[in-house]
Amino acid sequence: MTAPAWAHLPNAVHIDRVLASLKAHPDKWEAAQTAARGPAWSAAWDAAWDAARGTAWTEAWDAARGTAWGTARGTARGAARGAAWGAITALIAWDDCAYMLELPEDTLKVLRAVGNEQALLLSAAAKVLRETS
């Protein structure tokens, strides 16, 4: 089996974890995204995109996006894909944010309130991973 294009990234194991969870629990991802989506989430998405690291980043991003979309395609749940994709984008853009997947909701809530982009994009993933792990 060929390693995914993001295998060299520091958060590769977390990207794989998000994709596996999306495949196993698309309904949970859909619910989490419905709760998380809004103007702040969209601004965080833009910030993650702006944090792009050039060609290698773009290749990993494209490959992970294709995998996320393919994983959730059978569920026909755009919200599920969006939540996973927000988390994956944060994990690709910012090498030091994976710890947020383990933070309690109260802590993430404070980080979201102060506009932390990583927390905005990773909160849905943290919620789903807490519920399903």
**How many other β-carbons are positioned within 10 Å of the β-carbon of residue 45?**
20
Query: Splitting the chain (133 residues) into consecutive groups of 10 residues, what average pLDDT does each group show?
Result: 80 92 86 74 76 63 67 58 84 93 96 93 94 88
Do the beta carbons of residue 128 and residue 83 sit within 8 Å? yes
Q: What angle do CA 60, 50, 117 make, to 5 degrees?
A: 95
| Helix ranges restricted to H, the chain | 12-24, 26-36, 39-50, 55-73, 78-93, 105-113, 117-132
pLDDT at 76: 44
pLDDT at 27: 85
C-alpha to C-alpha distance for 57 and 72, rounded to whole angstroms: 22
pLDDT at 70: 62
Closest CA to 88 of 20, 2, 3: 20
Do the beta carbons of residue 68 and residue 84 sit within 8 Å? yes
| Tokens read off for 36 | 């998380």
